[in-house]
Amino acid sequence: MNFFSYQSGGVLALVMAIVLGAFVSEDGATVTAATLAASSVLDLRVAFLSAFAGLWMGDLGVYVLARWTSPAIQRHRWLRARFENNPNKNSSPSQKQMQWSLALSRFLPGTRLPAYIAAGFAQMPVASFALVTAVSAIAWIIVLFLIIRVAPARSVAASHQLALLSLFGLALFALLSICRYWNQQIRQKARIVVRRIIKWEFWPAWLFYSPVAMFCVYLGIRYRGFSLPTIANLNQKNGGIVGESKVGILQMLMETSPEFTADGYLVRRGSVSERIDSIRHLCYRHEIGFPFVLKPDTAQRGAGFKKIHSIEEAEQYLTQVSAPLVLQRYAPPQVDHACSA
């Protein structure tokens, strides 16, 4: 009779080896337990429970670790961007879909670890995760035990094959994840390029203004006056071609169409402290709250545009821009608190 068949200490050692071995290789530990049961070294029930305990405890450990670290990862933009699989919340899988994916991962070596981590990050209910992994672990153990019972000579080969399959599955998952990430980056960059081509306001300044400059030269030669284009907008300096004041335009719009105009006010040159005082005064006088907009009075194509959320941001902006500025109410207005607060 085998030593382990009547020595409880030996049985306990085998049980601990199976349970702890499952943390290294779940399938290897399960095949080992099935082999010991098939050769009558270990009682079938003890072997089964040992394999189940190792698998289930390992699953729960990965899930708890992922769930515990998820809030910390969500606070870091760089990490969150790499762990979020569905940026669009509307396309997030339902609980039933997550449960099916979790159950099927047990029978697809290499997909289990990603599935358990995803369940933890998604804050899947503990009871639901525990039930799905318990049922799928029991089913998987039964399958392996039956295979080893029918063909015990294949146990060692089966263990190695499952281990290789797990490594291959993990490598394939990592490769697909990398490809998916790069595919997303390429598509995002392609969308930006297409948007810049379709939307003319995103064209480079030299490309955007070259046809305008050539057309102005043509009109000047044809009508013998290079200042001719400036009469397009008589109420604006230089006809609004260059150097016009944004505040001047805003004041006219505020007088004629105040309901469609986000009011704006001039912040003159001066020291940072002087202009901060001016901004506080304008905010208080005209009841402008955060966020509001600061931009140069004579800039072109949105150069220098900045949405300001605090006085500290305004101070930082003023240290970089010394030209006269426009302080404009942000549209749509979101009055959170007064600038003077």
pTM exceeds 0.75 for this model: no
Most confident of 36-40, 204-208, 209-213, 294-298: 294-298
Q: What pLDDT digit, counting tens, does each position of 111-120 carry?
A: 777 888 888 8
Q: Is 88 left (phi over 0), alpha (psi -120 to 50) or beta?
A: beta
Q: Please say if the pLDDT value at position 193 is more than 80.
A: no
What would the two tokens of residue 51 be? 């394999």
- Please say whether the beta carbons of 105 and 115 come within 8 A: yes
Side-chain half-sphere of 112: how many Cα atoms within 13 Å? 25
- Based on DSSP, count helices (H) and strands (E) in the chain, helices before strands: 12, 4
Residues 6+ apart with CB under 8 A from 302: 295
Compute the Cα dihedral for 57, 22, 148, 6 and give only its sign. Answer: negative
Alpha-carbon radius of gyration of the chain: 35
pLDDT at 216 over 70: yes
Asked if 300 and 245 count as a contact pair (C-beta separation under 8 A), the reply is no
Rounded-to-integer distance, Cα 327 and Cα 336, Å = 17
pLDDT digits (tens, 9 = 90+) for 3-33: 444 455 678 888 888 888 778 777 778 887 8
Distance CA 267, CA 245 (A): 12
Residues 6+ apart with CB under 8 A from 207: none
pLDDT in tens, 278-326: 999 999 999 999 999 999 988 666 778 899 999 999 999 999 998 899 9
Q: Residue 156: is its pLDDT beyond 60?
A: no
Query: pLDDT of 86-128, one tens digit each?
Result: 444 444 556 777 788 888 888 776 677 788 888 888 888 888 8
Q: Confirm if 2 and 42 have CB atoms less than 8 A apart.
A: no
d(CA 160, CA 166): 10
In this structure, how many other beta carbons lie within 10 angstroms of the beta carbon of residue 316?
A: 13
